[in-house]
Amino acid sequence: MMQFVSGFGTYVIPFLVILTVLVFVHELGHFWVARRYGVRVEVFSIGFGPELFGWTDRLGTRWRISLLPLGGYVRMAGDGDVASVTKGPIADADRQHSLFAKPVGQRAQISVAGPLANFIFAIIVLAILFATAGRPFTPPTADQVIDDGAAAAAGIKAGDRFLTVDARPVQRFEELQKIVQESPGRPLAVEVRRGEQVIAMTVTPRASEITDRFGNTRQVGLLGVRSLKIETRRDNPLTAVWHAGTETWNLTIGTLKALGQIIAGTRNSDELGGPLRIAQMSGEVAQGGLVATLWFLAVLSINLGLVNLLPVPVLDGGQLVFYAAEALRGRPLGDRAQEYAAMVGLALVLALMVFATWNDLVHLKVVDFIGRLFT
């Protein structure tokens, strides 16, 4: 805790820089698509609250830096608020340039453009990393073999590198783990490279029972090997983009699975972090160098895109739900319904922020520190 307080500038400045970049990318997605469809963007703001400084471009958009640098927004003609839920009064001369005068399909594209920009940005950042610093991966090598494990019983030795498992080629240790965990008690044909030899054998993963927080049990397979090395491969620009897209997809699916496990109770909700933990991690990765910072930037960009796609009013996903309802009904939802939905959505977002911040305080041992002050 005291280390975090004493290094306040070390954590806060990288956090604000990273957040500003991600918010700019997100809002730029909305801005660019809105402009393409002829919607007049009145304000492009980084941060909320009073304007610190800004300028107005030739098309009338006010670009501004605001006092509270914890987010941002674009306000388009016809918006009644920064969430684009309620409609403000629209002058006849401005009606054709209003967001709500556009077809529902175009409005949906404007909403989804922000999260999409975050995913594209993550792919670009990862592609640059893969083409320059290289792509890290865990090789499918048995660096350690547990004496009484399934691998040892099958004759696998330390240093063996898995080539295929169950007739499927494996290039990363995680791929090996996935196949094994899905095959408890089932014999698997494997090929390993040992020195200059390729050896075929059969291994049967040991069945292990795990229990979630609700008492539900399931079986997974265990092989009894560990990989302790990290390798890197530098890609050419074309394959770097391909692998960056694949990595972005894997990170997205992994995040969704983790969120689903937290909701289902099979994963500890303490892992859900908020702004304080992100600030701490921002400072730590910034001290780790440019490569670590860019990795963190890409991962956060993916998470920002995912969060904004949640079907919660005041988020882009909530707007998409409104537009889907409008497309089905043939007319928009009433202003009252949108206002109530926005209030519920805002309450959910605030509750999530409070919960995540509490987790941060516990993680950073702030709660224990405050408790000691009053004991």
Q: Assess contact for 72 and 118: CB atoms under 8 A.
A: no
Q: How far is CA 302 from the centre of its chain?
A: 4
The catalytic residue among 27, 51, 175, 284 is 27
Instruction: Retrieve residue 365's tokens.
Output: 């041992």
Instruction: List pLDDT tens digits, range 38-67.
Output: 999 999 999 888 999 999 999 899 999 999
Both 188 and 280 in one domain: the answer is: no
284/122: higher pLDDT? 122
pLDDT at position 244:
94
CA proximity to 36, closest of 114, 117, 106: 106
Read off the pLDDT of each residue in 107-136 and give the average, rounded to a whole number: 94
- Pick the last residue of a domain from 164, 198, 229: 229
Are residues 117 and 167 both part of a single domain? Answer: no
Q: How many domains does the chain have?
A: 2
Asked whether residue 108 falls in the same domain as residue 151, the answer is no
Stretch 350-370: mean pLDDT, rounded? 56
pLDDT computed for residue 71 by the predictor: 83
Residue 356, pLDDT score: 60
Q: Is 231 a catalytic residue?
A: no
Report if residue 244 sits inside a domain. no
Question: Which residue, chain included where needed, has tokens 């997100």?
Answer: 26
Across all residues in the chain, what is the average pLDDT?
82
Comparing 331 with 217, which gets the higher pLDDT? 331
pLDDT of res. 343: 78
Per-residue pLDDT reduced to its tens digit, 257-275: 777 776 666 666 666 666 6
Where does a domain end: 198, 229, 260?
229
160 lies in which domain range? 139-229
Asked if residues 73 and 63 have their Cβ atoms less than 8 Å apart, the reply is no
302 CB-contact burial (10 Å; exposed 0-12 / middle 13-18 / buried 19+)? buried
Task: Identify which has the larger pLDDT, 268 or 220.
Answer: 220
**Residue 46 resides in a domain:** yes
Residue where a domain terminates, one of 209, 229, 249: 229
Per-residue pLDDT tens over the stretch 137-162? 888 999 999 988 999 999 999 999 99
Residue 242 lies inside a defined structural domain of this protein: no
Same domain, 126 and 192: no
Residues 10 and 89 in one domain: yes
Q: Kindly report the CATH number assigned to the domain that includes residue 192.
A: 2.30.42.10
Cα angle vertex 339, ends 105, 112, to 5°? 30
Distance CA 151, CA 165 (A): 12
Residue 361 forms part of a structural domain? yes
Q: Could you tell me if 119 and 148 lie in one domain? A: no
Q: Is residue 248 part of a domain?
A: no
Rounded CA-CA distance 81/74 in Å is: 10
Do 95 and 218 have their domain in common? no
pLDDT at position 124 over 80: yes
Q: What H or E segment, with its residue span, contains residue 74?
A: strand 62-76
Q: Looking at residue 301, what is its pLDDT? A: 94
326 in any annotated domain: yes
Same domain, 204 and 122: no
Residues 129 and 150 in one domain: no
Together in a domain, 337 and 281: yes
Secondary structure element (H or E) that encloses residue 222, with its range: strand 217-222
For residue 243, is it within any domain?
no
- As a dihedral over the C-alpha atoms of residue 51, residue 57, residue 61, residue 67, rounded to 10 degrees, the angle is -10
Q: Is residue 330 part of a domain?
A: yes
Residues 6, 129 within the same domain: yes
Same domain, 28 and 44: yes
Most confident of 166-175, 280-289, 344-353: 166-175
Q: Find out whether 232 and 130 touch, Cβ atoms under 8 Å.
A: no
